[in-house]
A and B are shown apart, each in its own frame.
Chain A
């Protein structure tokens, strides 16, 4: 059974650009959550999608957005990149949802903003 796949694994952008990250969940999982991981802030919740609907959103500015497609694949987009957006972005899928269910994480997309 394939795990959670995130693409790209590494990317470098410059300030002001935008970026789109992709996440393919485990087959059958309808919940996809996104987290930002940085050394200073740890794991910060971005948002969760379940069956194409955003169920919850963390405390991030509107530059951070996401969506989920009918096949449960999810994308997140960050516009007008800032230096502080440099981080490891982790996607996690879940069968039962992000409350009671185990989260299965991908290896992350490491974004560097110059």
Chain B
């Protein structure tokens, strides 16, 4: 079975500071990993995904994430936070066990202070 743990339900950073959102997964097979963002009153939007190949994945809006198999982690980073980054971020995992589904973490709400 697959699962996702996001460390920290709330993260607060100052504008211009580094954003680091943590995600650890559990999977018995090579996973597919995703980060999604949700703005208020909207559905989720894909930021980036890892399927195979390069372990450093670049996404939209300056975000990137690194797949570390030895640490079972897929942390999301952005060098410089912008006010518009304030939203809820979800890490997700899927794979070919447990059926055709993507499992989401509990989410981390990012606050950006001026």
Contacts and interface: CB of A to CB of B under 8 A. Distances in A.
Interface string B40-76: 0111111001010000000000000000000000000
Contact of B105 (A33, A42, A45): A42
B42 A107 contact: yes
A55 B100 contact: yes
B104 A43 contact: yes
Chain B interface bracket (under 10, 10 to 19, 20 to 34, 35 or more): 20 to 34
Contacts of B95: 99
A58 B99 CA distance: 10
What DSSP secondary structure best describes chain A's contact surface? strand
B103 A45 contact: yes
B46 A100 contact: no
For A48, A55, A105, the residue with the greatest tally of chain B CB atoms inside 10 Å of its CB is: A105
Interface in B64-114: 90, 94-96, 98-107
Given A43-B104, A56-B99, A97-B100, 5 more contacts: A45-B102, A99-B95, A99-B96, A100-B94, A103-B36
